A and B are shown apart, each in its own frame.
Chain A
Amino acid sequence: MTEVFLDPTAELSAANKAILPRLASLEGKTIGLLDINKPRGDVLLDRLEQLFAAEGVSVRRYAKPTMTRVAPLETKQQIAMECDAVVEALAD
């Protein structure tokens, strides 16, 4: 059953949950690439890693052990400690 809340704010922003501010630039940042372990996702991420590296951005690779479950807590915490932003791929 869906619930309805009344907005406690001044309603200056969209009703949907806001997403975090993006990074100001990629300079000196570390990007996490998370393979959700679907076929061919790794190949796509390999190429993205090369493209980021070509722009001087550090990349770290992570993988979910199985595509059917959410990423384990350790993986999330590891990404949070090691990365400034994260890209997940590939859902099909």
Chain B
Amino acid sequence: MSDTHTNYIVVVKRDCPTCVLVEPVLAQLQSGGCKLQVWSQDDPTFPETVTDVGNDTNLEKSWAMKIETVPTVIRMEQGAEAERTVGWDRSEWQRLFDNDELVAELPDFRPGCGSKSVEPGMPEKLALRFGDINLQSREIVVGEMEDPMESCFERGWSDGLPVVPPTQLRVVRMLAGTNRDPAEVLGHVPPDLQPCTIEKVAINAVMAGCKPEYLPVVIAAVEACLIDEFCMHGLLATTWFSGPMVIVNGPIARAIGMNSGGNALGQGNRANATIGRALQLVIRNVGGGKPGGVDRATLGNPGKYTFCFAEDEENSCWESLAVQRGFSPEQSTVTLFAADGVQGIADQRSREPESLCHSLAASLLAVGHQKFVMHSDAFVILVPEHQRIFAKAGWSKQKVIDTLMEFTTRPGSELVPGAGGIEEGMPEFVKDMELPKFKPGGLNIVHAGGTAGLFSAIVSGWLASGDMGSSPVSKEIVI
């Protein structure tokens, strides 16, 4: 960074009043024979009274020396940094330069200013230009006549909506959202079973419109979808409606501004919208899973663009989904469910928990098919005004689930082919059995939604649940 004859390096910029303040000190030191190399970040003619000022307007030196504040004084020993001080602190400078007679008219102390090399967005630019960032992905040069946005569509990278073009700078900025190595392989994404690195996740997160701080959530969602029990390959390939729904729990949900309140399942929140979308783009682009290709959905559902929200833990009287699944409240997690669309349940009259359970149960029976049992799993997204009825009665979440399981248990005679005048139904042998609508563990409740409205939701799942297909999976979010 400097030849061995230099004893001191000082980094300054004209735009900093403290740097201007110390100009006579630098001149005094240099004329006194001190071997001083000054680098200027903004104006190579500053300081005028110092000779041989180095031009660091491209900030290469500042970046390499990790300058955060100007002025920074670095004392060198045999070509290596021995110590540094920032700003103007008379006693520090006198100690560092071993000189008790620095310009007397100056105040004893002035803080410095921010280095240009740490201005917002600059560290990533400099890292890309001067650093050893070694991204593995193929570079795609976009033609001069190409519109970058159109180009992404034409290359087949989009889910149908515009994507943010994944420039190197944007990807580097995205990767700053995690401490993990860009080259780390998370697993193999179906259907093509291609290795998926953190870097590939970051590229797709850029395209989805994520902020870098969302990246750890996206990474966890990708990791979760690769867990065997989730059966992402089959989920993608099925003719059924489902796609992955992402439920975020723990402190990160609030930290990154996710919506767990009004319209939590709807549009309008960037984190909700882009995290779910990024997961789908990874499956599309890294896994090669596209409609018309391996994705054979007969109708699909709009949640296959994106389906992600946070549980409202703060205003809930129950343990969260994540805690119920074995995590601590301090851990941040994603839980994935192979989900169809949203089915509303209106009940504005029930005041007793039993009545509300009967209401919910009646609607839950319709999941998949009114005569199917032990097929689809389901999540009830219970809104605050409905949860309050259970809270008032002192019901635990488990008690509500047990009651719903009981109220949705049906005699097999109502389920067999022909019953109710419907040819569809469960096999004949269930005729004399009593069967619960859901498998054990197949019914879950999370708390979300606005404070007004006695309208909860059922999100039902893939007909092939459990060992036959997909089970909900959870993964801790690691920064």
Chain A residues with CB under 8 Å of chain B are 1-12, 15, 17-18
- Report if A10-B286 is in contact (Cβ < 8 Å); known contacts: A4-B167, A5-B166, A5-B167: yes
B98 in contact (CB, < 8 A) = no
CB neighbours (8 Å) of A15 from chain B are 138, 140
Q: Which of A1, A4, A8, A12 contacts B192 (CB under 8 A)? A: A12
Per the bound structure, the CA–CA distance linking A6 and B135 in Å amounts to 9
| Chain A CB within 10 A, most for which of B138, B189, B194, B204 | B138
Would B139 and A9 count as touching, CB distance under 8 A?
no
| Inter-chain contacts of A11 with B (CB < 8 A) | 137-138
Q: Closest CB of chain B to A9's CB: distance in Å?
A: 5
In the assembled complex, the Cα of A3 lies from the Cα of B151 at a distance in Å of: 11
By a CB distance below 8 angstroms, the chain A residues around B171 are 6
Interface 1/0 per residue, B133-159 and A, CB below 8 Å = 001011111111000100110111100
Q: Does B469 interact with chain A (Cβ within 8 Å)? A: no
Report 12 cross-chain contacts, Cβ distance below 8 Å, ordered by A residue.
A5-B165, A5-B167, A6-B137, A7-B137, A7-B139, A7-B203, A8-B203, A9-B285, A10-B189, A10-B195, A12-B194, A15-B140
Is B194 touching A4 in the complex (CB atoms < 8 A)? no
Q: How far is the CA of A10 from the CA of B288 in the complex (A)?
A: 8
Q: Considering only CB atoms, which chain B residue lies closest to A4 in the complex?
A: B139
Q: Which residues of A are found within 8 Å of B308, using beta-carbon distances?
A: none
With known contacts A12-B194, A12-B288, A7–B141 Cβ distance under 8 A: no
Question: At the interface, yes or no: B233 with Cβ under 8 Å from chain A?
Answer: no
Is B281 engaged at the interface, CB distance under 8 Å to the other chain? yes
Taking a contact as CB atoms closer than 8 A, the residue among A3, A10, A12, A18 that contacts B142 in the complex is A3
Main secondary structure of the interface of B (DSSP, over half): mixed
Interface pair B157/A9, CB less than 8 Å apart: yes
A-B complex: 10 closest residue pairs judged by Cβ atoms = A10-B194, A7-B138, A6-B137, A8-B285, A8-B203, A3-B142, A5-B140, A9-B285, A7-B137, A17-B154
B200 within 8 A of A: yes
The yes or no answer to B207 lying at the interface (CB within 8 A) is: yes
Residues of A within 8 A of B269 (CB): none
Considering only residues 105-160 of chain B, those with a C-beta below 8 Å from chain A are 135, 137-144, 148, 151-152, 154-157
- Residues A6 and B143 in contact in the complex (CB < 8 Å), given A11-B137, A17-B155: no
B285 contact set on A, CB distance < 8 A: 8-10
Contacts of A2 in B (CB 8 A): 141-144
Contact of B204 among A1, A3, A4, A8 (CB under 8 A): A8
Asked if residues A8 and B141 are in contact (CB atoms below 8 Å), the reply is: no
> Which of A1, A4, A10, A12 is the one whose CB lies under 8 Å from B140?
A4
| A9: chain B residues within 8 A (beta carbon) | 157, 285-286, 288
Known: A2-B144, A9-B285. A18 touches B156 (CB 8 A): yes
Give the distance to chain B from A18, nearest Cβ to Cβ, in Å. Answer: 7
Cβ of B30 < 8 Å from any Cβ of A?
no
Question: Across the two chains, which residue of chain A brings its CB closest to B136?
Answer: A6
B138 to chain A, nearest CB (A): 4
Query: Which A residues are CB-close (under 8 A) to B138?
Result: 6-7, 11, 15
Complex contact B165–A3 (CB within 8 A):
yes
B343 / chain A contacts, CB cutoff of 8 Å: none
Q: Does B168 contact A (CB under 8 A)?
A: yes
In the bound complex, what is the Cα–Cα distance between A6 and B140 (angstroms)?
6
- Residues of B contacting A3 in the complex (Cβ-Cβ under 8 angstroms): 141-142, 148, 165, 167
